[in-house]
């Protein structure tokens, strides 16, 4: 436990200072996903408010290939790093993370506690209160995210940094085909890209169920009121200072952020 606490201290210090390191020292380096999550949990204890929710990293094959992992990773969304649509927010300073991601985010209406049997997609959806368009601005505390592996990336809070939550979508989102739902991402005056829900583990609802079961497997409750953002549905948009980013989810709404 002392080694895990020291690892959390190191990652937290680099996060606050905007610096990075090649890897955690070997004597405090997590060797399993469980150890990575234990370090991540210690990061939560250093925040000023309860966690806002959860993020999922690497929900597409391209995303997994980019950071050299073979499956998704869960991370905590810290309450003091949350913004609303239209806000000005810091973007990642890591050369591999200077980007904005368009994401389907779900706010939970009921808690899903740990249990021996997996949660099904329909069961998890029944616990959802609202769906929101969202933007994630990720970052990492490692020099090269492709070289440290899943356990250290989980310890690094799955590359969480800042997050922007849009207004709740109309209730009819439940009747829509999120798999083929199109999203248009724009850095105004610079670049425009399209994506679909299928880029998120095949279906954002499947990604949400994955998160509920991942938390259950480590003995953590997905609480009512928490938000789960399910991973980027389009190739991340490169950003720099002063960019206006707009993610258009069609009938589900639009969310914007200005970077700084």
Over the stretch 102-124, which tens digit does the pLDDT of each residue have? 999 999 999 999 999 999 999 99
pTM: 0.97
Range of the domain at 119: 2-259
pLDDT at 121: 98
Q: How many CB atoms lie within 10 A of CB 4?
A: 18
pLDDT at 150: 97
First to last CA, the chain: 37
Q: Which of 2, 1, 19 is nearest to 156 (CA)?
A: 19
Q: Which of 7, 49, 48, 43 is nearest to 25 (CA)?
A: 7
Q: What are phi and psi of 167, to 5 degrees?
A: -65, 155
Confidence class for position 193, pLDDT limits 50, 70, 90: very high
Q: Give the CA radius of gyration of the chain.
A: 17
CATH of the domain at 199: 3.90.850.10
Residue whose pair of structure tokens reads 């991370």 in the numeric block: 75
Give residue-wise pLDDT tens across range 61-89.
Answer: 888 988 889 899 999 999 999 999 999 99
Q: Distance (Å, rounded) from C-alpha 131 to C-alpha 169?
A: 6
User: How many structural domains is the chain composed of?
Assistant: 1
Contacts of 238 (CB under 8 A, 6+ apart): 98, 99, 187, 191
């Amino acid at each position: 436990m002392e080694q895990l606490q020291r690892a959390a201290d190191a990652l937290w210090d680099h996060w606050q200072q905007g610096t990075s390191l090649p890897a955690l020292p070997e004597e405090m380096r997590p060797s399993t996903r469980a150890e990575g999550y234990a370090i991540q949990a210690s990061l939560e204890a250093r925040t000023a408010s309860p966690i806002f929710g959860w993020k999922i990293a690497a929900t597409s094959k391209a995303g997994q290939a980019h950071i050299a992992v073979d499956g998704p990773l869960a991370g905590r969304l810290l309450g003091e790093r949350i913004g609303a649509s239209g806000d000005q927010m810091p973007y990642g300073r890591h050369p591999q993370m200077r980007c904005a991601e368009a994401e389907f985010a779900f706010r939970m209406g009921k808690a899903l506690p740990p249990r021996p049997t997996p949660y099904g997609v329909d069961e998890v959806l029944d616990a959802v209160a609202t769906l929101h368009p969202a933007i994630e601005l990720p970052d990492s505390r490692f020099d090269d995210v492709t070289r440290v592996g899943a356990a250290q990336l989980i310890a690094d809070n799955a590359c969480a940094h800042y997050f922007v939550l849009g207004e709740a979508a109309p209730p009819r989102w439940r009747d829509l085909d999120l798999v083929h739902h199109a999203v248009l991402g724009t850095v105004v005056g610079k670049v425009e890209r399209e994506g679909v829900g299928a880029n998120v583990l095949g279906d954002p609802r499947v990604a949400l169920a994955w998160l509920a079961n991942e938390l259950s497997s480590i003995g953590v409750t997905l609480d009512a009121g928490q938000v789960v953002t399910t991973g980027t549905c389009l190739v991340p948009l490169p950003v720099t200072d002063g960019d206006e980013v707009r993610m258009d989810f069609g009938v589900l709404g639009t969310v914007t952020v200005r970077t700084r």
